[in-house]
């Protein structure tokens, strides 16, 4: 019979990290995904309201849901900014720079959106 090659066990990515650091990293990424989802659904509701020829100044369910989701995105964006600093401080191995930058951009987009909507009066 032929000998089978023994594959070395896969390296554990977070081997040197504490459980708290890994848990905070997971919460950070979940907050980032939640923020993105809230922004996308908020934009979709806003576009549906505009596509249905509902005037922007009149209260309607689609605009209310869109506004609530934008507020959720804003709050999770603030959480992302806080968690980014903590994760960068507590982890021994920093997360990839691209992921950190994209996460920060995702956190800032609701702030910019609210600022633009405030300036436009919508």
Return the structure tokens found at 98. 């691209």
Residue 67 to residue 84: CA distance in whole angstroms: 25
Q: Give the pLDDT band (50/70/90) at residue 44.
A: very high
| Greater model confidence, 41 or 53 | 41
pLDDT of 1: 58
Q: Give the pLDDT band (50/70/90) at residue 68.
A: very high
Q: Give the pLDDT band (50/70/90) at residue 58.
A: confident
Report pTM. Answer: 0.81
Q: Is 5 exposed, middle or buried (0-12, 13-18, 19+ CB in 10 A)?
A: exposed
pLDDT per residue as tens digits for the range 2-36: 667 777 776 666 778 889 999 999 999 999 999 99
């Amino acid at each position: 019979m032929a000998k089978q090659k023994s594959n070395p066990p896969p390296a554990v990515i977070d081997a040197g990290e504490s459980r708290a650091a890994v848990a905070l990293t997971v919460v950070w990424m979940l907050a980032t995904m939640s923020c993105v989802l809230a922004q996308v659904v908020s934009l979709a509701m806003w576009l549906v309201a505009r596509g249905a020829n509902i005037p922007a100044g009149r209260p309607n369910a689609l605009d209310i849901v869109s506004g609530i989701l934008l507020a959720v995105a804003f709050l999770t964006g603030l959480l992302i900014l806080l968690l980014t600093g903590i994760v960068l401080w507590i982890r021994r191995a920093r997360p990839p720079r691209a992921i950190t930058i994209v996460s920060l951009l995702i956190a800032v987009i609701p702030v910019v959106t609210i600022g633009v909507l405030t300036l436009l009066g919508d």
